[in-house]
Chains A and B, each alone.
Chain A
Amino acid sequence: RKEVEQDPGPFNVPEGATVAFNCTYSNSASQSFFWYRQDCRKEPKLLMSVYSSGNEDGRFTAQLNRASQYISLLIRDSKLSDSATYLCVILTGGGNKLTFGTGTQLKVEL
């Protein structure tokens, strides 16, 4: 079983739609959780951290359910510029070893 599992998509949605991505992780000792964004043929960039209490950054809301080992990302009022691959990421153990999911591809269309 992969440490981090995501639906690869692609999710094709119209502009203005609300879209939700899910991610599950297998290691219950995982400490920290993140969503990274990767544009086509570019490097990944941190989108937001994910906390148990849930956190929001503008149109983006992230949620963590430790009991179910489940992470989500909700994008409201999607824009063309949101088109990218969204990577679910966990940090387990010391150091900076991040474990990435395969990513979910989002395409926002006119």
Chain B
Amino acid sequence: DAGVTQSPTHLIKTRGQHVTLRCSPISGHKSVSWYQQVLGQGPQFIFQYYEKEERGRGNFPDRFSARQFPNYSSELNVNALLLGDSALYLCASSLGNTGDGELFFGEGSRLTVL
């Protein structure tokens, strides 16, 4: 069975551009979460979606947005990119909304902003 898949795996953008990252959860999983991991730090929570509704939002500016589609896949959008947005963006899926703590992470999208 396929795990969580993310695309693209690597991308380079310049300041001010926009980026869209995509995620497909494990089949049957209805919850998708997005995390940002800067080098040397632990992942930081950005969003959680469950059944296509936003269920949680971390401390990120409005330049960050996301959505979940009827097939439970998800997109993370970041507008007006800054150098500090350079990071590994991780998508994680889980069966349900409430936490038993086990999130299944994809390998991430590594974004470099120049």
Contact = CB atoms under 8 A, between A and B. Distances in A.
A95 to B, nearest CB: 5
Nearest to A8: B40
B45 A98 contact: yes
A4 B43 CA distance: 12
Interface hub of A34, A87, A96, A99 (most chain B Cβ within 10 A): A96
A43 B48 contact: no
B50 interface: yes
Contacts of B42: 4, 87, 89, 100-103
- Give the most central of A8, A44, A103: most B CB within 10 Å: A44
A93 to B, nearest CB: 8
B50 A91 contact: no
B101 A97 contact: no
Interface string B69-96: 0000000000000000000001010100
A49 interface: yes
Interface residues of A, number: 25
B3 to A, nearest CB: 9
Interface of B: 31, 33, 35, 40-45, 48, 50, 55-56, 58, 90, 92, 94, 97-103, 105-108
Interface of A: 4, 8, 31-34, 42-46, 49, 87, 89, 91, 94-103
25 contacts: A4-B42, A32-B101, A34-B101, A42-B107, A44-B105, A46-B101, A46-B102, A46-B103, A49-B100, A87-B42, A91-B101, A94-B55, A95-B50, A95-B98, A96-B33, A96-B48, A96-B55, A97-B33, A97-B56, A97-B99, A100-B42, A100-B44, A102-B40, A102-B41, A102-B42
